[in-house]
Structure 1
Amino acid sequence: MPDTVTLYEPPDYDGAPPVDASAIADWLRDRVDATVAVRGRFLDEHRTEDLAERFAAARVLDPNERDTGNTMLGVVRYEERALDDPAREGGVLYDGVAVQRALNAALPSDERGLDHLHVALLDRAFGTWGDHDGRWHKRVSALGQPALVSVPGLYEAPAKPESYYREQQRHALLSGDAPPREVLENRVDGEFLVEDDPRTTEALKGYVLSAVHLAATGEGFCDDPDCRLSNPHRQPGVVRAQLREPAFCEAHADRYG
């Protein structure tokens, strides 16, 4: 178990997702034998001169192309503005591994050890490349040092219920364009998280604990779909794992229940 876990708040601006990092930290303190601290936004606390360029280099340019990055001056300037004013950032997918390397390099050298785990709640969407199907996949989290948890990824990465996509196709056939997100959310039966969902903080707790669990035990995600340490690929599975009882499988309930 790390001696210290530092959780970083996501940015706070009008329209930002409702995330309470202090509530996540309080929940974590009841379950892990470590000092849990909360700091401000990671990208404010640990800013390096080349961070904007490294984000530009991590940009996914095509969902079906492995190569990433556009470090032209205009793109780097955009990334600088997004670092200064996170409300302006959006719609960009980044290579999660490249972002993690950049943020690891931004950590103070005396805080990179395994005794101090950093968990950044990010307002960026990131993904990993799938060799099996030749495309990028959005992710909620990337475990490691620092561990990254994407708030938009919570809504976007796990697939919606099949009825969501059927309604999306039906609307497109009738109207010729994509339906507004709010229309789909009101028409589709099924359980899934949406932007500004009041359950966001609760759902993120398990992903943060998964990062601590890996650092403490070397174990990855749990295979039990009812456990908060699992990593569902569909939204109904996220609701089942993070918002329904039981909170943990039998093995992990002994440790964290």
Structure 2
Amino acid sequence: MVETVTLYRAPTPVADAGEIADWLRDRLARAGEGADADVEVRDRFLDVHRIEELPERFADARVLSPYERETGNTMLGIVRYEERALENPERAGGVLYDGVAVQRALNAALPESERPLDHLHVALLDRAVGTWGDHDGRWHKRVNVLGQPALVSVPGLYEAPAKPEAYYKEKQKHALVSGDAPPREVLENEVEGEFLVADDPRTTEALKGYVLQAVHCRRTGEAFCEAAGCRLSNPHRQPGVVEAQLRDPEFCDEHDETYG
């Protein structure tokens, strides 16, 4: 039973935590938990639950190589970078973190009074997170990491699911000519297929399903839905994300009975 869901804002206007919370309340009401599940919104997790150890914990969670399981660089300069990134999130970026290690760090930052099993924390993060794949010996970026607190990575929404191959070719071509990444409008016009890119205006809508996945997992123990096109599915390619999070119907037949 989930009695309280606390959703934490991300430091970007394209991820509207208030709108996501309103949508989540409606879905939980349809699931029969409207009277008990209190959905609240707080400021950025890394501001609300700041502890002294967080910069070093983030430094220790840094992925050093896509193909090396070992993580972490706690040299003074790296820890200082993480301190600055906590204070000025707009300066962070370009780093992949071990999502499970970050989750442990944020769990340790939660006050004891807010750790009951019926209180789920969901942090919208400005960091890219990943998990190690034992099956192929490499790190994989993720949109979310389920658990307590659940992590939902805003940059992960754009970076984790693979885009059409033509996207990467066009981006590389533009970089060779201009030295910079092409604007979103250029990529959308020149690359066939559907995908989300950084600061996409559809970000809030797409994140709703990933936040619900975290709550659904806590409620039922079920991780992801196997049905393509369901908000609770976990597509590995961008066209699948668009279909699942931005197209009707929102849910497969089974989950439509609960949340639809």
User: Which TM-score bucket, shorter chain as reference?
Assistant: over 0.9
CA distance in 1, matches of 2:240, 2:22: 25
Match for 2:104: what amino acid? R
CA contact (8 A) 2:227 2:252 kept: yes
CA gap 1:229/1:130 in 2 versus in 1, 3 angstroms = same
Offset, 1:166:
4.5
Runs of 4+ aligned residues of structure 1 deviating over 6 Å after TM superposition are 176-179
Aligned counterpart, 1:142? 145
Counterpart pick for 1:48 among 48, 51, 55: 51
What do the CA deviations read for 1:16-50 (whole angstroms, capped 9, x no partner)?
A: 35111000000001111210000000000001110
CA 1:253–1:91 in 2, change beyond 3 Å: closer, same or farther? Answer: same
- Cα separation, 2, equivalents of 1:113 and 1:127: 26
Q: Where do residues 178-189 of structure 1 align in structure 2 (5 Å cutoff)?
A: 180-182=181-183, 183-189=186-192
| Structure 2 contact 66–138 (Cα < 8 Å) conserved | yes
Structure 2: gaps (5+ residues): none
- Once the two structures are TM-superposed, the CA of residue 134 in structure 1 deviates from its matched residue by 1.4
| TM-score relative to the length of structure 1 | 0.93
Is 1:31 the counterpart of 2:31? The answer is: no
Superposition deviation, residue 228 in structure 1: 0.2
Asked whether the equivalents of residues 171 and 182 of structure 2 are also in contact (C-alpha less than 8 Å), the reply is no
Mapped partners of 1:237, 1:109: distance in 2: 39
Match of 1:59 among 62, 70, 79: 62
State the shift of 1:176 in Å.
8.2
Residue 10 of structure 2: aligned partner: 10
TM-score scaled by structure 2?
A: 0.92
Quick check: 2:56–2:74 contact (8 Å CA) kept in 1?
A: yes
Cα distance in 2 for residues equivalent to 1:151 and 1:116: 22
Note the C-alpha offset of 1:196.
1.4
C-alpha RMSD of matched pairs (Å): 1.7
Amino acid at match of 1:180: A
Alpha-carbon distance in 2 for matches of 1:75, 1:42: 21
2:122 and 2:181 mapped to 1: Cα distance?
33
Pairs aligned (count): 251
Instruction: Kindly indicate whether the alpha-carbon contact (under 8 Å) linking 1:56 and 1:69 is maintained by their aligned counterparts in 2.
Output: yes
Q: For structure 1, list consecutive stretches of 5 or more residues without a partner in the other structure.
A: none
Structure 2 CA distance for aligned equivalents of residues 243 and 64 of structure 1? 33
C-alpha distance in 1 between matches for 2:177 and 2:85: 33
1:123-142 alignment to 2 at 5 Å?
123-142=126-145
